[in-house]
Amino acid sequence: MEAAINILSPDFDKNPYPLYKQLQEEHPLYFFEPANAYVLSRYEDIHQALTDPAYTVKNYEFQSEPLHGRTFIQMDGREHSQYRNLVAPSIRGRDLAEKLMPIIDETAKEIYAPFLSKTSADFTTEFAARFPVLVISGILGLDKESESNFLKWYRTFVDFIGDLGQTPEITAAAFKTKDEITDYLLPIIADKRENPGDDILSTLCHAEVDGVRMTDQEIKAFVSLLITAGGESTDKMLSHTLRNLLEHPDQMMDVRNDRSLIQNAFVESMRFSPVTHRLMRITSEEVQVSGGTIPANSQVILLLGAAQHDSSVFKDPESFNIHRKELDIGKAFTAAANHVAFGAGRHFCVGSMLAKAEMDVAFNQLFDFTESISLDENAELVEKGLFTRGLYALPIRYTLK
């Protein structure tokens, strides 16, 4: 029987939210034959899938490993904890405040510099698409000459993810990029083993947990993953957050008057207009969900975008509200978050605090040099993407202080 709801269709790509609601109400457990996968759309089922070990991350063996190499996102149990503990301290806590914040701040200033001599820009292409990638290059301790390569590699990986493996040329370009990153990074890693600096790459080369160090290939794989995951999500979220504030001028004014609300705008934007709309898991045993049972060894597609608009959890989910009471901002960047933009449980995004720091810096600096910001009167805002969604452009006009 032909699928009643096609989660790969142009209609889904154009606007998935009405179809999310239909799935939640009529098909909470939906088998999508073209992908040979069960589809979950309700918040409670998706949160369970993100936190229950019965839903494994074996999917990354074919989704991520061929492109990046084996990383901790596809590990479970003690192995996952061990490698996560090697990586996490370098992008959280004191290291983030003392080592990374100056780099994040200086990178934003450099990219915003041309904005100070004009009154219009495409925020997406001129700032958002560059900022997180160049931050990653900076915090890894790579030289300025590598920045253009990093931007090219990032765009190639993002194109590959969005293409879902449909176009041979895009796939070939992505695997060519994999080889280029390997050739570029391995000599640098070898040098930092011998001559460590005060940067994340050096930290990764020398960090130990239970006497274990990451291998050169593991470090390379993590950097490759960081370029994609750390760049794309923040890139798109910067544009989504500014767009949402521009379309709600009263809330924009609230944030301008109280900069602590930048984090509220970020968290509500992650809920209202999420970047990552779907993840996959593979069951290790039979599991019970709303609407029935999923057999062992089944592929499961988690519609995170649907969970973020589940009316049983979020009141009036189709409205953007930075003062939303359901969002516990104090926990929003931790594994106790009650949104699922960063995942949940043991695989909660290790870069959540880095993303928060980048968002704080980007918007504080933007508000510091502008008196007002508005959408360009000719702006046509197109948001597309089945796996991750983002704006192609966000043309703005602004007055300088």
* Interior angle at CA 33, CA 345 and CA 294, nearest 5: 40
Pick from 72, 106, 77: nearest CA to 204 = 72
- Among 33-47, 220-234, 354-368, 386-400, the minimum mean pLDDT is found in 220-234
- Amino acid 163: pLDDT: 67
| Coil/strand/helix, residue 280 | strand
- Amino acid 375: pLDDT: 96
Report which residue type is found at 352: S
* Neighbouring residues of 312: CB distance < 8 A, sequence distance ≥ 6: 42, 43, 44
* Neighbouring residues of 2: CB distance < 8 A, sequence distance ≥ 6: none
What residue segments make up the domains of the chain, in order of their start?
Answer: 38-368+385-400
The whole-angstrom separation of Cα 174 and Cα 136 is: 19
**335 Cα distance to chain centroid:** 15
- Amino acid 54: pLDDT: 96
Mean local confidence (pLDDT), 124-134: 93
Is 133 within 8 Å of 235 (Cβ atoms)? Answer: yes
Whole-model pTM: value is 0.92
The whole-angstrom separation of Cα 272 and Cα 318 is: 7
The whole-angstrom separation of Cα 48 and Cα 59 is: 17
Is 64 within 8 Å of 43 (Cβ atoms)? Answer: no
Pick from 227, 196, 242: nearest CA to 365 = 242
Mean local confidence (pLDDT), 144-154: 76
Return the axis-axis angle of helices 168-194 and 147-163, rounded to nearest 10°. Answer: 140
pLDDT at 199 over 90: no
The string of pLDDT tens digits covering residues 79-96 is: 777 777 777 777 777 777
pLDDT at 3 over 70: no
The whole-angstrom separation of Cα 27 and Cα 21 is: 9
Burial label for 183, CB within 10 Å (0-12, 13-18, 19+), is: exposed
Return the axis-axis angle of helices 352-369 and 101-112, rounded to nearest 10°. Answer: 40
The whole-angstrom separation of Cα 186 and Cα 220 is: 7
How high does pLDDT run on average in the chain?
Answer: 89
* Interior angle at CA 204, CA 84 and CA 127, nearest 5: 85
Is 400 within 8 Å of 369 (Cβ atoms)? Answer: yes
Q: What topology is assigned to 38-368+385-400 in CATH?
A: Cytochrome p450 (1.10.630)
